[in-house]
Structure 1
Amino acid sequence: MSSDIEKTVNELMKDKMYVLQAGESTDIGGISQLLVFIRYVADNKITEQFLCCKELVQTSGQDIFSSVAEYLKEMGLTWKLCVGICTDGCPSMVGSVEGFVSLVQKETPHLVTTHCFLHRENFSAKTLGQELKLVLESVVKMLNFIKSRPKQTRLFSILCEDMGSAHEGLLLHIEVRWLSRGKVLSRVHELRQEMIVFFTLQGKPEFCELLADEIWSAKLCYLADIFEHLNKVNTSMQGKNENMLTSSDKIKGLLEKIRHWQDRVSDGNADMFLKTAEAKYTDIIPVIKEHLEILEWNIEKYFPYISADQYD
């Protein structure tokens, strides 16, 4: 089946211009994997296909270039027809001398390069401000105490069941899976009372004090709310029908929302953040305002103005 699909894609690609999207990541076994997707026009439609997955021993720009070039040669494709490359912006991809993109540009100087919208949106959301950063770090410590120990996980699950909780456990926070962050924080908020009981039994008064603190909990609610909004935008920019124009519109819409939120927060109103509104949030208005300003600045930094005319 794999060979048949590969053959079909190869036939459709004959003498067509194409663009590539490449990303490298380490799998659960510690092995570096290079994933490459290809887009081209077929029957007057933009078609996207998975091109190849290559295991890498080294992850330098030269290694990535050699791996992709070898596969394209096997497929009978030429770099001359490659008109664009989208990457995650890491040094091995975009390095000015030995980066993957730089090496491809030596083969095809007219190449258009872009930094993946999903990664840029994630980068813009990373800067939280000191107070919110401390809250997130504390939550991660709590999760690690429970989730990294199988016995503790089982005990907490039994406790949740005995207390009639809506959930039987917490979700694990993993940095690489940034889209799960909002769900992780929401689950911690929902199981806050159960966690207080559990940490009391486990002799962790520092965790109990944080979870019982209304101001700290309000900051937790805000983090859950804002990451939920950011994750919705990120998810909406995924899919075969997405392109630079549609994604730019969504980022522009998010920026307008953030500016509107800033105006409302300045008036002491945070009702657009549902969990935060249910908590006693008035004391954290300055924290919310500071974070929204940082978020706006980061989005403008990572998403400079794009003129739609040249792409229409």
Structure 2
Amino acid sequence: MAEPQIKKSRLSDHGSGRSFQEVWTEKYGVVESNGKALCLLCHVTVVSRTWNVKRHFETNHRWLLEKNEEERKEYIFHQLQEKKHEPNIFLKFLKVPTNLTSASFCIAHSIAQHGKALNEGEFIKETLLKCAPLLFQDMINKDAIIQRISDLPVSRNTIKDNMMTMIFDVQQQLIGDLNQCQFFSICLDETADITSSARLAVITRFYNGQTMREELVKLEKMPISTSGYEICNVVIKIFNDLGIDISKVVSVLTNGAPNMAGNNGGFVKLFMESIGHPVVPFHCNIHQEVLCANLGVNELQDVLTTVTKIVNLIASRPFQKQEFVVLLQEVELTYSGRLMHNNLRWLSRGKVLEIFVHCYEEIKSFIENKNIEQFPQLSDVEWASNLMFFTDLSVHMNELNLKLQGFGKSIDITLGYVKAFETKLQIFKRDVETKTYKYFPRLKKYFDEVNSGGQNEMEPLLVKYLHILNSIIDQFGERFNKFRSLEQTFKIIKYPDVVVYTAMDLDDFQWLPIEELELQLAEFQSSNWTTVFVDLRSQLEDLERNCQLNEESYSEQEILNAWSRIPDSFSALKVLAMALLTIFHSTYSCETLFSALNNIRVDNRSRNLLTEDLSDACMGLRCTKYIPSISELTIKSQE
């Protein structure tokens, strides 16, 4: 009786030994076919025993052993993808859960969003595997979880492929939205990346039926020296290649360079000729403010030159004094370890100037005691007075500069900031004229210290300061003239119930379907729909009063919500309001994008493997607000 039991046991062992194990597919590149193991790499069948499968792999595909485990898995996976349509062969393997692929997409997306190197996926996986035994030790299926993590495909090439797949999906979403929207505006800016390659960024702003979006259309490599003709040809080709109707552009915002905004051969003029209708041309208002400030304070450039030298001197030596620590921390924050340079962007140094003035006496003592370098300016009353005035003025200019920065700010909001600052400039001027110095506290304190309250000796300086303020006032009046010419037109965004039709400048909008605007406006202003905007303005006042976070974004969304409630019988009003809301106010989006581009290149340049398309994909995924359709992409990857 014992004999049959022994035979049964042996048969059972024999059967289990010949059963196909799914782990072989990933490890040795075989799949189940008619009860045997079929090699993906050479199409030879092997007995379904671990020893036979392993011997076949090590004998016939030894070259794969030279690769690491992740590379072997990836190669086998690609072989599967190429051959999986062959009948009855790969059905077993395809039952592996697709959530591994989805998770791989998620990791690639996170790596791109944070500007990390492509091989960070392997680091993430290694970290998960190290902490998993502790994290899941009280779970019954701990081993299965750890195995699933181990199976996660996160090699550099997999992450790269996932990024390229996701950026294509994001681009298709953008193309779909741009083709569906009625019109959009574009923003253009140029830069040289870390490889000294010239890049042209084309960003679009449009209404997708729910909210305003700002998205990168293309980051194009350009010759170092580009003419308006070349830029125009490139921009039109970009949109044509994507199948987007370029004639829907309402406004173009540029950095104001001659090749962009010049009257002879500038991009904007050529672009309007190409699309056959006018657009609203704007020069970035942040650039405009900087230019206004630079031209206004030309007489004080020696102050910045000296401050720059002293700060760099301090930054080059170790100090323990708390005042210097704070100063150096601000320099590090502003310049990321680089020395301060005396260029036109002095507005970015506002905080540094503030701290410099705060520890002015300590700096004087340090320079005198160490006898490192002579700076007689520090003891010169006129130079020090100029420093105090310059610092106070830069604080005010910085406040406007910060307000003009950021995403999602409509043109009417930023116009309000500029108008308010122009009024403030008149107040600053009167403050100096009356010698009150309420808005120049550092200057007042210094005058009180060196002149004991009597300020007759300071009259020549006051004349200079008034001249500077007048110059800035004149520059604002000249450079923001285009904004002012459309001020009454912008009122339709929030004040359609009171705006005067004849006061609006509509020359650049006549190509839009607004033929009935005058009649519809008259009807609207006599209807009950006006209460929508009375309520809107009340809501916006509450937002401003409560100083809510990102109040500009909330304000814009409230405006969009209000207009969405207005019936289509007032279509001309809605068209004009939405067209105005698409207009860019600054190249801030481009500046942010260029920063992301350079950071991505810095992270990966040592590998010398990052292609142009891949770097753009990394940057595009980092900057977009679109979410890749990972579920759909996972399904497609299995087809």
TM-score, normalised to structure 2, is 0.44
Note if contact 1:19-1:85 (Cα within 8 Å) is conserved in structure 2: yes
Compared with structure 1, are the counterparts of its residues 183 and 89 closer, same or farther at alpha carbon in structure 2 (3 Å cutoff)? same
Counterparts of residues 49-60 of structure 1 (less than 5 Å):
49-58=215-224, 59-60=226-227
How far, CA to CA, are the matches of 1:25 and 1:181 in structure 2? 22
Q: Name the residue aligned to 2:204.
A: 38
The residue that corresponds to 1:204 in the other structure is 373
The structure 2 residue matched to 1:24, chosen from 190, 205, 217, is 190
Paired position in structure 1 for 2:175:
10
Aligned match of 1:292:
469
Larger mean CA deviation between 111-120 and 122-131 belongs to 122-131
- The 5 Å alignment of 1:1-312 reads 1-16=166-181, 17-58=183-224, 59-108=226-275, 109-129=277-297, 131-143=299-311, 146=313, 153-155=315-317, 158-159=318-319, 161-162=320-321, 165-167=324-326, 169=328, 171=331, 172-173=340-341, 175=343, 177-200=345-368, 201-205=370-374, 207=375, 209-280=376-447, 282=455, 283=458, 284-304=461-481, 305-311=484-490, 312=492
* Distance in structure 1 (CA, Å) of the matches to 2:197 and 2:357: 35
Deviation at 1:176, TM superposition (A): 6.0
Q: Which has the higher strand share?
A: 1
Structure 1 residues 3 and 278, CA gap change in structure 2 (3 angstroms): farther
More helix by share: 2
Identical counterparts, % of pairs: 22
| 1:66-96 Cα deviation digits (max 9, x unpaired) | 3322321232112211121011110110123
Segment drifting more, 266-275 vs 117-126: 266-275
After superposition, the Cα gap between the structure-2 partners of 1:264 and 1:197, relative to the gap in structure 1 and judged at 3 Å, is closer
Asked whether the 8 Å contact 2:253–2:283 carries over to 1, the reply is yes
Q: What do residues 177-198 of structure 1 show as CA deviations (whole Å, max 9, x unaligned)?
A: 4441212322332343444355
Q: How far did residue 244 of structure 1 move? A: 2.6
CA RMSD of aligned residues (A): 2.5
Distance 2:243 2:467 in 1: 54
Shift of 1:295: 1.2
Partner SS, residue 435 of structure 2:
coil
Cα 1:164/1:229, change in 2 over 3 Å: closer
Cα distance change on mapping 1:267 and 1:127 into 2, 3 Å = same
Report the TM-score, using the length of structure 1 for normalisation.
Answer: 0.86
For residue 274 of structure 2, what is the amino acid of its counterpart? E
The alpha-carbon deviation at position 294 of structure 1 amounts to 1.3
> What CA deviation, in whole Å up to 9, does each residue of 1:30-87 have, x standing for no partner?
3322222101111153322222222222322223223322321232112211121011
Greater RCO (CA < 8 Å, at least 6 residues apart): 2
Contact 1:182–1:223 under 8 Å retained in 2:
no
Q: CA deviation at 1:273?
A: 2.1
What secondary structure sits across from 1:280 in the alignment?
helix
Gaps of 5+ in 1: 147-151
Query: Gapped runs of 5+ residues in structure 2?
Result: 1-165, 332-339, 449-454, 493-639
Map Cα deviations across residues 238-264 of structure 1 (whole Å, 9 max, x no partner).
Answer: 233323322221111111111112112
Q: Give the length in aligned residue pairs.
A: 301
Cα distance per residue 1:284-303 (max 9 Å; x no partner): 43332221111111111111
Give CA-to-partner distance per residue, 1:181-221, whole Å, 9 cap, x none.
2123223323434443554435422x1x2123343223212
Pick closer, same or farther for the CA change 1:176–1:218 going to 2, 3 Å: closer
**What one-letter code is carried by the residue in structure 2 that aligns with 1:138?**
T
> Could you tell which deviates more after superposition, 128-137 or 270-279?
128-137
